[in-house]
Amino acid sequence: MTRTADRREFLRNAVFVGAGLLLGCGGEGDSGTGAGGASGDGFGGGDGHAGPDTGNDTSSAPDGGTTADSNTPVDAGFAQDSGPSPTDAVHGDTGGFADIASGDAGTTGCPNPLAGGQLLGLVPFIQEGGKLMATKYGVGWDGRYYCDLTKLNLDTMINPISEHFIRTRYPDQIDTTKPWKLTIGGLVDAPKTLAMADISPLTKDMGVHLMECSGNGKGGKFGLISAAKWKGVPVPKLLAMVKPKAAGKRVLIKGFDGHSTPSENNHSKPGASWIFTPEQLENAFLATEMNSKPLPEDHGKPVRLLVPGWYGCCNIKWVTDIQWVQDDAKSTSQMKEFASRTHQTAAHALAKSFKPATMDQVAMPIRVERWKLADGTQAHMILGVMWGGYELTEKLAIEFSAPTKGPLHPVEVCPKQATNQTWTLWRYLWNPKGPMTAQIRMRIDDPKIPTRRLDMGWYKRTVKV
């Protein structure tokens, strides 16, 4: 027990001198990285709207590489900040593999390679946006709150509500004097309208789920990502309240989306809705509580959709309607707006042509710590997160480029990944030889696991040591 407690204390303190909590992630859309979202602030483009932050929509990957999706936009944060050409070799002694300390009772392993060392500070990532973390920006569709990932540690894997990212803030055109109504209708025998008093008794704990904006990028220091504990009503239970007609094959979920202030540069367009098959909604729920408290306004009060594993543009906020629609229903404006950022082959005219907007396995470094070891030498500890995907994996690896791509080095995830619903911490002890500028890129060293964004270099980050 003492050893476990010591490891937990080490990880807790190895964030910063005077470690803090993970701050809330806000939307992008500012300095040209990715796309935001409006009424569905989850995994993808944001709260429900996208609107590319820069309007860049090309066939290039964010880091200039080739992407399999001809509609994936260039993230300006990647495309424009190639930075100085590093000249020093980055590869050298790795010093062994760093381990994530575990605070769970009964967990063994996870040795601490920095025992007796002194944390000297953090090495900042360079060539990224300059947005302040933990600061709310803008209103309506352009409302943002960015997450400071450098402060993530074992004790903050579930983000406080006040520190969870925001992409699109509360619509000022909602009439708060009227009770909220949810209509379940469309191609059904008899529509049903529910008040919140009808919905609340149906809620249950839905567990911890991570959300990421599909436009999460360098302009906001990859701050469009957070995790929370949710309570809500499973969507299948709501769908079962009505009988769809024979023509009713798909489900449209729509949220309120009226804002008085237009989006700057038309980054976001009105119309927060997405169309799913019933099978795609088997694990989805309408959330009413976040971290055991009623949903705040900016997070969808009083009810918002969450589809585990899907980008946030699909996680509609301020839900008003669930409608059964025909199989050849036209795609919504939101689906078209987020098509490139959810890796569709085109902004298809029909909803049935859209593939599930799911997140493949991804990972990225969130901070680089500089340490003085017990023997007087110095080393760098790279800490990161892994999330998304459809199966558990132990094949996470790190790759350095300075200036050419180096070999893959496996990183150790400890405690081991237990779920794909939320993120997992990893560490790697790095001993670079001499001063250099290095690009850090994560890989899943298993060809059977889909990794679209890692293949594109989406989460590649640069440090100067």
141 lies in a domain?
no
Same domain for 32 and 62: yes
132 lies in a domain?
no
Six-digit token pair at 456?
């594109």
Which of 358, 389, 414 is where one domain is finished? Answer: 358
Q: Say if CB 188 and CB 248 are below 8 A apart.
A: yes
pTM for the whole structure? 0.81
Six-digit token pair at 217?
């990028």
d(CA 393, CA 444): 8
385 lies in a domain?
yes
Q: Is 72 exposed, middle or buried (0-12, 13-18, 19+ CB in 10 A)?
A: buried
> Which residues span the domain enclosing 216?
1-83+148-358
139 lies in a domain?
no
As a whole number of Å, the CA-based R_g of the chain is 22
Instruction: List phi, psi (to 5°) of 239.
Output: -65, -30
119 lies in a domain?
yes
Cβ-based neighbour number of residue 428 at 10 Å: 26
Find the Cα–Cα–Cα–Cα dihedral 165, 168, 169, 173, rounded to 10°: -160
Q: What counts of helices (H) and strands (E) characterise the chain?
A: 6, 22
Same domain for 422 and 326: no
Six-digit token pair at 453?
């964004």
- Region label for 96, one of left (φ > 0), alpha (ψ between -120 and 50) or beta (otherwise): left
Same domain for 400 and 335: no
For the chain, what is the domain count?
Answer: 2
Question: Nearest 5°: CA angle at 430, between 120 and 103?
Answer: 75
Same domain for 153 and 54: yes
d(CA 276, CA 430): 44
Which of 358, 384, 417 is where one domain is finished? Answer: 358
pLDDT tens, residue order, the chain (465 aa): 333 333 343 333 333 322 222 222 323 333 333 333 333 433 223 343 433 332 222 223 343 333 333 333 323 222 223 333 332 333 333 332 233 333 332 333 577 888 899 999 999 999 998 787 878 888 898 888 888 898 888 888 999 998 899 998 989 999 999 999 999 999 999 999 999 999 999 999 999 999 999 999 999 999 999 999 999 999 999 999 999 999 999 999 999 999 998 888 766 777 899 999 999 999 999 999 999 999 999 999 999 999 999 999 999 999 999 999 999 999 999 999 999 999 999 999 999 999 999 999 999 999 999 999 999 999 999 999 999 999 999 999 999 997 677 899 999 998 899 999 999 999 999 999 889 999 999 999 999 999 999 999 999 999 999
Same domain for 188 and 102: no
Same domain for 116 and 199: no
Same domain for 191 and 64: yes
Listed residue (209, 168, 202) closest to 288, CA to CA: 202
Six-digit token pair at 213?
């904006």
Q: Say if CB 26 and CB 145 are below 8 A apart.
A: yes
Same domain for 273 and 160: yes
CATH code, domain carrying 344: 3.90.420.10
Six-digit token pair at 152?
């993530």
d(CA 363, CA 212): 12
Q: What residue spans of 41-81 are helical by DSSP H?
A: 76-80
Same domain for 171 and 120: no
Beta strands 250-255 and 319-325 are antiparallel
Same domain for 108 and 60: no
d(CA 60, CA 44): 19
Same domain for 242 and 350: yes
Which of 336, 358, 380 is where one domain is finished? Answer: 358
Handedness of CA 239, 242, 246, 252 (dihedral sign): negative
Same domain for 172 and 112: no
180 lies in a domain?
yes
Angstrom CA distances, 193 to 249, 316, 323, stand at: 20, 18, 12
266 lies in a domain?
yes
276 lies in a domain?
yes
- Give the amino acid at 139: V
